[in-house]
Every structure is written in structure tokens, then in C-alpha cells.
Structure 1
Amino acid sequence: MLEITVSLRNEVIDRAVRQTRRQLDKLASMPLSGEIRLPYVTNNGRYMLEDKWSSGFFIGLLYRLSQLTGDPLYMEEADRWIGGIEPYKKQGDYQDIGFLFYYSYAFGYDLTGKEAYRTIALEAADSLFDSRLPGGYLECNWLPEGKRYAGVDSMMNIRLWLWAYRITGEERYRAAAIESAQITSAALMREDGFTYEYMRMDSLTGAPEQPYNKNAKFSSASVWARGHTWALYGAVQMYVLGHEEEWRTKVERLSAFYLAHVCSDGVPAWDLMLSHQETAMRDASAAAIACSAFYQFAAALSPDDPLRQQFRQEAERVLDVLISAEYAPPGPEHEGLLVHASTPLHVVQAAGESQIWGDYFLLEALYYSLEVGS
């Protein structure tokens, strides 16, 4: 069984190499312009190239392939395409610069030590302060009245501040991340593990007023699967920061709710509350995010902690599902790596499509699984 699992994981890496080289060839063939467009989501199996909040994940995918294969090509290609993200570094009212710059410049600095990457990532981290409202949460400027809403995406975007604190030791980054995480989690995470996608807030005090769903709209009781795993992943990063019991408890609650609301194969429907319907569209990207979070949480626990083995086993179980034939591309013409990633529904309205963040987190989970085995 172990040999089969290792073989499947190697197949996924080999497939990622083939798919990524095709994308790089496609990008290289595009006419040069002032705006660099990178893979976003597939349409009929072909990656649409867009300038989006998600562009950093393609750069991060190149870095993960470099780690998984040892091939310097992917470092070189990341350096070739990363400049398309740099113009966002001063757009501080756009909290998704956390997504854009952590997985590109910050991650790139960690791997290469390039001072130019460090400088740009820290400029972006400083700009992120412009998204912070007096109530302590981050502005969601893509929503009407975005200053009145806290969003679950914040739990991921503050990772740029956590990185900046690790690199510089400056307390202002750590304090901002903690404040935002505490206010966001208090507003969006219930004690039973249920999460809201957005919460209307008092912008001065940070007091929660009214929940709101944008991507999961099946009912007022909807739970957006990917948003829930954003919250889980972010809570894990907060636990890694200080190993505080508060965040350990939140990780456990969010994980328990998630695992109680996935489909029979362990992958959730796009709305967690629909996972009992086996015909509901899946979101494999959410499962990949959760899988990586499980690995990282397990690694942060002491060897004698019973939760360590429990979370590691769950990560292994989910990864085995995600690398199975069910979630593999149907043929060589499909440009994604992980299929059945179905949200946002206004963009991806059919089963069998891929998203660049789903592909990235699958490789991240693979990387952590190999770290565990080494």
C-alpha cells in the first residue's frame, strides 16, 4: 500500500511538471504587453489567463515544483513572471495583496534569499496596513460598502504580516496580525465551528452586526467550503505563531465541523451544508487547503500529543483521495492538476474544472507529506 501511495504521489508531481511546462510555453508565446496575465481557472479544461487576486499562486506553484523536483528551471521561470505582481504592492486598500505577495515575493525570498524580493514583500506588508479599519478588521473593498464588512479571506491575507514579523522581528506586524485574526475569528467563527463568509461590522468598534454570504447562497445557513478552509488554515498559522491554547481550540472546532460536513469521500461540496447530497458540486480546492492545514497543524504539535497522529492521518487520507483518479485530469489536454474545484460558481459552473489555488495547495500538501516521510 505504501509503495502504491508513493507511486501515485510521484505521478502527480510528474503530471504537474508536464502541465506547468505547457503553461509556461503558452505564457511565453503570448504577445508582450503592459499587463501580465497568469493562470486563473479552467474553462473546458483550458486555463483562462487573468490578472487576479490569485496570480501569486502560479508563482507559488513554480516554487513548490522547484522544491519537489530540484529543477532550477522553476526558480528561473518564477523570476521571469513574478514582476507582473509587483504593481500591486502599493494598493493597500486591497487586502488580497496578502495572497498576491505571500505566495510570490515572500515565499520567493524564503527560498532564494534575494534581497529585492524581501524589499518588495515588506513594502506590500506595509501597504496592507491601509486595509485595516479602526475596528481592527480588514476592508473588503470588492463589496459594496466594503468598509462595513469583515471577510474570512482576512485569515489568509494576514499571513503576509506573520511572514514580515518572522523576517524583521518588528512587533507591529505581529500585533496587527493578532488583532485582525482575533476580531475576524470572533465575528465569523461560532463556537460550534460554523463559519460565516462575511460579517457586517461597526467600522469603528469592530462589533459584529449581520452575516452575509457572497459565494455560498444556497440558504441563510450556508457555509462556503473554501471560506471555511481559509479560516481553518489561518487559525493553524496563528497557532504556529505562538502555540496558544485559544488557537488550538479554534483549529479543533473548525476541523471537527468541516469533517462532519464533507461528502463520503472526504471532499466537501461547494457549500458544506450540501455535502450530504452526493450529487452536489464538489470543491476539491477546499479539500487541498484543509489537507495542507492538517499537515502543518500536526507538525506544530509535540510528538506525544495525541492530536498529532490524528491530524496527520486525516491529512494522509484526504491526500490519497485528491491524488486518486477521481480528481485527476481526464486527459492530457486538460491543463489543470486537480479537478472538481467548483467555486466561485459565477466563474466555474461545471464539474471537472480546475483552479490555480487548488493546484497550488495540492502541491503544498504533497510537499508537507514528503517532509513527514523524510
Structure 2
Amino acid sequence: MKRIFLTAVSMLLCMTATQAQFKGELALSQEFINKNLHDGGKQLKYLAEQTPEDRMPRTFQNGKQQPSNTGWWTSGFFPGTLLYAYEGTGDTTFLALSKDKLRILEKEKNNKSTHDLGFMIFCSFGNALRLTGDSTAYKEILTTGAASLATRFSPVTKTIRSWDHGKWSFPVIIDNMMNLEFLTQVSKITGDKKYATLAKVHANTTMANHFRKDYSSYHVVDYDTLSGKARAFETAQGAFDESAWARGQAWALYGYTMMFRETKDKKYLKFARHIANFYLTHPNLPKDLIPYWDFNQDKISSDSKYYPYKDLRDVSTASVVASSLLELSSYTKGEEATNYMRKAEHMLKSLSSPAYQAAYGENGGFILKHSVGSIPHNTEIDVPLTYADYYYLEALIRYDRLLKGKPVILF
């Protein structure tokens, strides 16, 4: 029985022995990583004190906490961030705090009204299983959550439906690439290949329909429910339909890098490299590598309602990309791998500077400042966001593994 348990845990979140490791020289020190993990953890404890027991941190705006209920799409990030802090510092206080939040989050495993169960359930309970090995506590939650997510898959469109609201017939957003890891990992723990198959089908359909010739991504693709064909290519959070909404490019890069890891299919690696090239060589990427909220913000006219916000940065995008590039550097070689690593290091240095990292007790307890949720919806504009902190700590943890001679993804 013990052997079965250990096998299940290793299968859930396990990289194979062929997982590559970056072979070049690392520029950031262990002291740098430790300091930022410590400072981030101290801030998280402060944030935990400000958050009601039955709520999750979401943002801090106009001098007030703006928490969410567990049904909001970002609800899994705070317990996941606490678990990264536990992993990075060894402080068991973070594990206890995360378990308090996991208890109120568990009911979302039955939520079939959202595509964001990867964010909600995998970033939280997936990390909990990885770090504790407690299959009894977490396996059922993860498998039930994956089954709930799978109900949103359409064999006609060959995609997982994103939203149940709005003007669209069957909308799929690029963000949905981030929820596929949940499915691939649950296939490992259950031995049921259907979840991994759904992930691959969705990734392939998205690859075919969501990208322009330069490998920038549309935000929303709407599908016809009868023919399954893509019928509209739009944005919901970007500057305009044909612009490259920055966080959408980050979701795409992370998603296809992950899909290569999980499948070893080189088409996903090739695609991730193209996405990275678009992002890193874009003429509108600032020198500190913290992007504007939209790569085409320079095309926003002075009479647009977005014009006052056109030069805002989005720290959440940089956090996701830094983490993605650390992984991508381990699957590539030579100058290409070194370039990805140097860019990730640059991003981490920028994110860890006073320009973007808050002082203790400021920023409502969130670690990073200056993220953008959705300017078109006039929500979360130039504020801290819980997922920016999550992917920032994830990047620090990944880099810490490299400093210790371990693969960047260590499950």
C-alpha cells in the first residue's frame, strides 16, 4: 500500500529523469534569492492578518483590501503562494496558514461553471500534495476538480469553454492554456489518460486558431457550436482586437512550455520558442523588461478612453514570463538558453527592486506593486494582484533549485 501511495504522489507532479537543467552560469546569488523569499514571506504574513478567515486576498485598492470569495478565479493563488513561501523558507507557519485557506477552498472542486479550476485547485491543492505527500487529504479534491473542469470540453469545438457570459457563442481565452497542467497531472495520479488527452486537444486547437503569423495571441476566440470552426477573433482585456495584450502572451508562453514538459512533443517547444521570440524582441518592451499592459499601447489614440492608462506596466505579466523563461532555458541550448536565463534574471532583479516590490506593511501586504487587471473593464488598474505574487515566488523557487544544482521543475 505504501508503495502504491508513493507511486501515486510521484506520478501526480513528477518530472521524468530526462528533465533538463540549465547548464550555463547563473548570475543571481543565493543571498539575493533568500532575501527576496524572506521579505516576500514576511509580507505574506502581514497580508494573512489583513484577510478575513472566509475570504481570499485579491487586490488592495484605494487604501482598502479587496478580497474575494472562493468562487473567484484567483482564489487558489494565495494558498499556493503561502506554500511556495513554506518551500522557500522552511517556515511551517506558512503551511499552517495555507491549510486554513485550503479548508474554505475545497468546495470549489465541484464548480463546473468556470474554466479556471487549474488556477483555483491545482495551484493550491496541487502544491499542497507535492509538498506534503498527503494523498489521503488531497487526491480526491484534485481528481474531482479535474472531472469538473472536463465537463466544459466540447468535442465539436475541440476546446474547453472559458466563459458562460457575454456575447459569444463558445468563447475560449488564451488564459485557458494555464489550466491544462491540472489535467495532465491528474491523468498521472489517476492513470486515466482522458484528462491529458483533453489538454492536448485543447492546446492543439488553440495553437491552430489563437495566433497570428508573428506568434502573438488573440485574447478571445469564439467558436461556432455547430461546425466547431473559429468564428471571431477579439479581445476582452487588451487595447483592441488586433493588439497583443501582454498577459495573454505570458499565458501562452507558460502554457506551451508546460505542454512540452508534460508531453515531450517538440512541436510545443518550437511554438513556445516562437512566442518567446515575439515577446523578448518586441520594440515596445521596456528596458527593465516589465511590459506595458498591452504591447501595442503606442497605437492607442489620444481620444481613446484607454489613453490615460496607455503607459501603465503590468507586473503580473513579468512574473509569469520570468517563471516561464526559467523553465524554457532548461529545454534549449547554447546562446538561446542563456538568453532566456539572462532575461529571466533581469526580470527578477527588476521585480525585486523598490520600483516594483513593496516595503513591509505597505501595498496592503501584497509583495509586488503595479499590476493591471483589466483596463477595458475599469477594474484592478495599477494595483497589486495576488497572481503576480504567486508567479514571482514561483520564479524565485525555480531559480533557487537551479542554484542548488537541481532541475528547474522539481516534483
The answer to whether residue 287 in structure 2 is matched with residue 264 in structure 1 is: yes
Write the distance in 2 (CA, Å) between the matches of 1:3 and 1:220. Answer: 39
Q: Is residue 2:292 matched to residue 1:274?
A: no
- Equivalent position of 2:110 in the other structure: 90
Rounded to whole Å, the distance in 2 between the matches of 1:17 and 1:267 is 22
State yes or no: 1:341 paired with 2:359.
Answer: no
CA gap of 1:103–1:211, structure 2 versus 1, over 3 A, is same
TM-fit CA distance, 1:242: 2.2
Residues 128-143 of structure 1: pairs in structure 2 closer than 5 A:
128-133=149-154, 134-143=156-165
**Does the 8 Å contact 1:41/1:48 carry over to 2?**
yes
Between the aligned partners of 2:279 and 2:61, the Cα distance in structure 1 is 28
Whole-angstrom distance in 1 between the partners of 2:298 and 2:349 = 19
Residue of structure 2 aligned with 1:329, choices 358, 368, 372: 358
SS at 1:54 equivalent: coil
CA distance in 1, matches of 2:396, 2:79: 17
CA distance in 2 between partners of 1:121 and 1:223 (Å): 33
Q: CA deviation at 1:288?
A: 0.6
Q: Partners of 1:151 and 1:317 in 2: how far apart? A: 29
**C-alpha displacement at 1:71, in angstroms?**
1.0
Q: Which residue of 2 aligns with 1:160?
A: 182
Larger mean CA deviation between 228-237 and 195-204 belongs to: 195-204
Q: Which amino acid aligns with 2:202?
A: S
- Count residues with an aligned counterpart: 362
**SS of 1:196's equivalent?**
coil
CA RMSD between the two structures: 2.2
CA distance in 2, matches of 1:142, 1:318: 35
The answer for unaligned runs of 5 or more in structure 2 is 1-25, 301-308, 405-411
Question: Counterpart of 1:10 in structure 2: which amino acid?
Answer: N
Matches within 5 A, 1:203-222: 203-216=225-238, 218-222=239-243
Q: Quickly say closer, same or farther: Cα 1:344–1:330, change in 2 above 3 A.
A: farther
1:76-87 alignment runs, 5 A limit: 76-87=96-107
Partner of residue 317 from structure 2, selected from 278, 281, 286: 286
Question: Cα deviation per residue 1:280-339 (whole Å; 9 max; x = unaligned)?
Answer: 0000110110000011122244xx554332222221121111111211215633222111
Return the alpha-carbon distance in structure 1 between the equivalents of residues 223 and 35 of structure 2.
47
Greater relative contact order: 1 or 2 (C-alpha under 8 angstroms, separation 6 or more)?
2
Q: How far apart are 1:154 and its partner, in Å?
A: 1.2
Q: Distance in 1 between matches of 2:183 and 2:296?
A: 32
| Structure 2 counterpart of 1:49 | 67
Amino acid in the other structure paired with 2:399: S
d(CA) in 1 for partners of 2:294 and 2:111? 31
Q: What are the Cα deviations for residues 338-372 of structure 1, in whole angstroms up to 9, with x where unaligned?
A: 111122222223x3x21000011110000111111
SS in 2 for 1:211: strand
Aligned to 2:124: 104
Give me the identity figure in percent: 24
What is the alpha-carbon distance in structure 2 between the residues aligned to residue 12 and residue 306 of structure 1? 28
Alpha-carbon distance between aligned partners in 2 of 1:60 and 1:330, rounded to the nearest angstrom? 22
1:200–1:211 contact (8 Å) kept in structure 2: yes
Distance (whole Å) between structure 2 residues aligned to residue 49 and residue 316 of structure 1: 31
Match of 2:214 in 1: 192
Instruction: Tell me how far apart the structure 1 counterparts of residues 164 and 40 of structure 2 sit (CA, whole Å).
Output: 32
Cα displacement (A) at 1:5? 5.1
Give unmatched runs, 5+ long, in structure 1: none
Deviations 1:170-221 (A, max 9, x none): 21111110001111222112231110000111224432111111111x2332
1:177 is matched with which residue? 199
Are 1:327 and 1:340, in contact at CA under 8 Å, matched by a contact in 2?
yes
Cα deviation, 1:8-32, whole Å, max 9, x if unaligned, reads 43332222122111122233xx4x6
Alpha-carbon offset, residue 243 of structure 1? 2.4
Q: 1:98-129: CA deviations, max 9, x gaps?
A: 21011111221111122221110110001111
| Cα distance, 1:293–1:204 mapped onto 2, change above 3 Å | farther
4+ residue runs over 6 A deviation: 275-279
Q: Which residue of 2 aligns with 1:16?
A: 40
CA distance in 1: counterparts of 2:50 and 2:289, whole angstroms: 34
Distance 2:348 2:107 in 1: 35
Q: Which position in structure 2 is the counterpart of 1:123? A: 144
Q: TM-score, normalising length from structure 2?
A: 0.82
Q: Which moved more, 1:68-77 or 1:11-20?
A: 11-20
Structure 1 pair 121–228 and aligned structure 2 pair: CA distance change class (3 A)? same
Distance 1:45 1:287 in 2: 24
Q: Counterpart of 1:39 in 2: which secondary structure?
A: strand
1:296 pairs with 303, 310, 327, which one? 327
Residues 314 and 150 (structure 1), Cα distance of their counterparts in 2 relative to 1, 3 Å cut: same
* Counterpart position of 1:234: 255
Residues 275 and 361 from structure 1, CA distance in 2 versus in 1: closer, same or farther, beyond 3 angstroms? farther
Give, in whole Å, the separation in 1 of the partners of 2:286 and 2:299. 6
d(CA) in 2 for partners of 1:333, 1:305: 41
Q: Which residue of 1 aligns with 2:342?
A: 313
Instruction: Write 1 or 2 for the structure with the bigger share of helix.
Output: 1
